[in-house]
Amino acid sequence: MTKYIFICGGVMSGIGKGIATASIARILKEKGFRVTAVKIDPYINVDAGTMNPIEHGEVFVTEDGVECDQDIGNYERFLDENIPRENYMTTGLIYQTVIERERNLEYGGKCVETIPHIPEEVIHRLDRAAKKAKADFVLIEVGGTVGEYQNAVFLEAGRMMRLQRPRDVMFILVSYLPVPKMIGEMKTKPTQYAVRSMNYAGIQPDIIIARSVVPLDGPRKRKISTFCNVAPEDVISAPDISSIYEVPVNFEKDNLGNRIISKFGMRERNRKRTEWSALVRRARSAKKPVRVGIIGKYFGTGNFTLSDSYISVIESLKHAAWHFGCKPEIIWLNAELYEKNRKSLKELSSLDGIVVPGGFGIRGVEGKIRAIEYARTRKKPFLGLCYGLQLAVVEFSRNILKLSGAHTTEVNPNTRHPVIHTMPEQLINIKEQRIGGSMRLGAYTCEIRPGTISYAAYGTKLISERHRHRYEVNNDYRDELEKHGLIASGINTERNLVEIVELKKHPFFVATQFHPEFKSRPLRPHPIFLAFIKACMR
């Protein structure tokens, strides 16, 4: 029988519920179980594709082409497995399905109601995810915090499931314990209220993960136990630590994995945990710095700037750097600065390498193009990702092909030289404003040209990578670009689309139309990132 573990958040958001879920998944996997993880986003958005990454964080893309929450990326990185489309749902998606079904008379004339029909659809989807993964454990991360109106139907789904299968369902609360500066003492009251909120929903947490800046002490553990009605051994200390990859190791110090499986009356099937511990050691002992600049556009709310929009890129750089025993130093660079003042490009000189990641729209574009020109002419290792490829082609067309005003039609639809443009079916989508879920999404194959940097990196001719874009290199310009030295080293042969470009006379200038960052794993760094970091180290 599949076991279901609901992971809910208490007190506030942003305390690492996703990492906690991914870490529990890792722990259970290492104990020899088949594990999968589901993310529930309590938004009306049908998927994450229409959410602004600057507000919501990165939009992750699965192999099968779902635009989803960045936590799915965490699950993939910790589990080292692909997560399928079944494992992501939003309020919008659930309602959409139920309404469609109602329109088809599939409820046979019944009144369709929030309760029980919405939670029933949720449960149906959880079972489907379990079946697809043939899972021993399904972890379900419920977005938001307990007590808010938005995720109430999902808690209700959990409550109903527990009622139906009392031996197969468990609840974990990831809560936060503040240590107010003026008191200096860790306070448990907000967590007590969070548990009360769960109790109102008819749920009692089985385990509490106590997030805080410092570890939990004995008295606090007992206090939480007494007031929140869980055994002291089920209160898990989860202090801030420097690397997310250490979280599973930390949880295991409090024996979290065995607490979970013993509650289900199970026994661990496997005891070796060498791979992950080796990774943690590798990351810890990495000393030699490698300085990589990420040129993006950032948005500050007050004193706060969200770098979450590039989370997979950051993690990919870490994975590759650790592989070589290097400590990645990531520098955030604001593209808009180079538009205002060309001189500020000088700050790029101290970097070992430059990344121009994915993006949309006009803001910061000219600044990114200037940074790419800098990387090309000053022979700095450069990695372009998606928009990064498109803008590298624009830069090359303007400055080497001398096509003045060359552009992507995303920014200038009337450019004389549309070196980046849309495929015909995408034109219809744009015209009819069919935006959500309509980009080129998910895995596509790519054939690599032998004798190129890309071929040396992958060591194979046929690869498959994930996509998320609407625009493509315009094939009318391909010969001219190649003649001048911008090699199309990767091609999607079914549609004859450029997937990778690279420069010949440059230490490392590679740009991909796809997003290699979605496939990098801590235990299996991505070949393109490895090649890039290697070039940065030189």
Chain residues binding ligand GLN by CB under 6 A are 358-360, 386-387, 390, 410, 468-471
Task: Tell me how far, at minimum, the Cβ of 194 lies from ligand GLN, in Å.
Answer: 37
Minimum Å gap between C-beta 385 and ligand GLN is 7
Catalytic residue among 117, 319, 421, 515: 515
State which residue, 163 or 362, has the beta carbon closest to ligand GLN. 362
| Residue 432: count of CB within 10 angstroms of its CB | 9
Q: Are the beta carbons of 320 and 359 closer than 8 angstroms?
A: no
Give yes or no: 185 in active site. no
Least distance from ligand GLN to the Cβ atom of residue 387, Å? 3
DSSP E strands, 310-452: 326-334, 353-356, 382-385, 407-408, 418-422, 440-448
Catalytically annotated residue among 410, 517, 526, 536: 517
CB of 56 to ligand GLN, least distance (A): 15
Is 517 an active-site residue? yes
Give whichever of 137 and 444 is closer to ligand GLN, judged by the CB atom: 444
Shortest CB 58 distance to ligand GLN, Å: 10
- Who contacts 99 (Cβ-Cβ below 8 Å, separation ≥6)? none
Smallest distance, ligand GLN to C-beta of residue 498, A: 12
Smaller CB separation from ligand GLN, 471 or 532: 471
> Residue 58 or residue 121: which is nearer to ligand GLN going by CB?
58
**Active-site residue identified among 8, 68, 228, 386:** 386
CB of 431 to ligand GLN, least distance (A): 15
Q: Which amino acid, 152?
A: A
Residue 276 or 387: the one with the smaller Cβ distance to ligand GLN is 387
Closest residue by Cα to residue 377 from 405, 398, 403, 363:
398
Reference 34, options 131, 174, 115; nearest CA is 131
Cβ-contact 65, 85 below 8 angstroms: yes
Q: Which is nearer to ligand GLN, 87 or 309 (CB)?
A: 309
Q: Which is nearer to ligand GLN, 155 or 473 (CB)?
A: 473
Q: Which residue number, 48 or 283, has a Cβ lying nearer to ligand GLN?
A: 48
> Which residue's entry shows tokens 């659809």?
121
Residue 526 sits at φ, ψ, to 5 deg, of -80, 135
Tokens of 218: 């004995």
Instruction: Give the nearer residue to ligand GLN in terms of CB position, either 239 or 361.
Output: 361
* Stretch (H or E) spanning 147: none
DSSP three-state, residue 23: helix
Burial class (CB in 10 A: 0-12, 13-18, 19+), 34: middle
Pairing status of strand 288-296 against strand 326-334: parallel
Bridge partners of 431, per DSSP, are: none
Burial class from Cβ neighbours inside 10 Å (0-12, 13-18, 19+) for residue 82 reads middle
For ligand GLN, the nearest residue by Cβ is 358
**Look-up of token digits 């199309």:** 488
Q: How far is the CB of 296 from ligand GLN (least distance, A)?
A: 11
Q: Which residues contact 106 (CB under 8 A, 6 or more apart)?
A: none
Phi, psi for 258 (deg, rounded to 5):
-70, -30
Helix or strand run (H / E) with residue 492: strand 486-492
Backbone phi, then psi, for 103, in 5-degree steps?
-65, -25
Q: How far is the CB of 480 from ligand GLN (least distance, A)?
A: 21
Q: How many CB atoms lie within 10 A of CB 297?
A: 17
DSSP codes joined into one string, 276-313:
HHHHHHHHHH--EEEEEEEEE---EETTEE--GGGHHH
Active site residues: 386, 515, 517
